[in-house]
Amino acid sequence: MSDEAKRMAAGAAVELVLDGMRLGIGTGSTAEHFIHLLAQRVKAGLSVTGIATSERSAELCSRLGIPLTNLDETPSLDLAVDGADEFDGALNLIKGGGGALLREKIVAAAAKRFVVIADASKQVAVLGAFPLPVEIIPMARQPLSQRLAKLGAVVALRQTADGKPFRSDENHWILDCAFGPAITDPPRLAHTLSGMPGVVEHGLFCGMTERVLLGSDDQVTVINS
């Protein structure tokens, strides 16, 4: 899928930003387009305060001059904008491909409006072709892997290029759970995962998304919840 489609979606999201807004700022390649386009508006005089969903996005925002705050100072946000790995017809999402799902969910939940920016490769009939990231406490790896396998997932510990366990910004591990395109009831699976001791958070975002801005090379389609 082209980078232009992601940029188009990001551009439509930047148009939703109004002067004075408190903004949640996502993570990933589509969110990085949003950050670059937002920075152009900030340079032109727009006043916003952002909360980034990852160290990576925070670093980019700082470099481009977007003022940042935190949830202690600003516990409630006007709008959060983020990418997704998959979304279905009910706007349930899989997120966390970039490993930022925990902070992404916290920030999205703190926002009055949560808008997803995506290209067509992310739109699916049934979630699950993209392995579902589950953020865990390291000591729970084996029991959780067994429980997740019993639910039908092929489970893999996410690793860095040099073979070490990937660490999230909050210093947890991530199990990537390949269910196949078979997550027919995302809220139910989300509930089950949330009840497993050792699971810090999972990448199913259910009932949170107000709209998806779906970019293509020449247009943006708005899909409302």
From 15-23, 58-66, 82-90, 158-166, span contacting ligand 5RP (CB under 6 A): 82-90
User: Residue 83 interacts with ligand 5RP (CB under 6 A)?
Assistant: yes
- Smallest gap, in angstroms, from Cβ of residue 47 to ligand 5RP? 26
From 99-107, 138-146, 157-165, 192-200, span contacting ligand 5RP (CB under 6 A): 99-107
Marked catalytic residue, from 32, 55, 73, 104: 104
- Smallest gap, in angstroms, from Cβ of residue 136 to ligand 5RP? 15
User: Residue 131 interacts with ligand 5RP (CB under 6 A)?
Assistant: no
Query: Which two three-digit tokens encode residue 143?
Result: 């029991």
Query: Would you call 15 exposed, middle or buried from its count of C-beta atoms within 10 A (0-12, 13-18, 19+)?
Result: exposed
CB nearer ligand 5RP, residue 131 or residue 198? 131
Residue 104 is among the residues annotated as catalytic for this protein = yes
Strand partners, 72: none
User: Residue 85 interacts with ligand 5RP (CB under 6 A)?
Assistant: yes
Is 69 strand, coil or helix?
Answer: coil
Rounded Cα–Cα distance for residues 155 and 178 (Å): 6
CB nearer ligand 5RP, residue 78 or residue 130? 130
Give the CA diameter of the chain: 54
Instruction: Give yes or no for a contact between 120 and 5, defined as CB atoms under 8 angstroms apart.
Output: yes
Select the residue interacting with ligand 5RP from 13, 51, 88, 97 (CB under 6 A).
Answer: 97
User: Residue 135 interacts with ligand 5RP (CB under 6 A)?
Assistant: no
Rounded Cα–Cα distance for residues 171 and 47 (Å): 32
Rounded Cα–Cα distance for residues 33 and 148 (Å): 34
Rounded Cα–Cα distance for residues 125 and 90 (Å): 10
- Smallest gap, in angstroms, from Cβ of residue 108 to ligand 5RP? 10
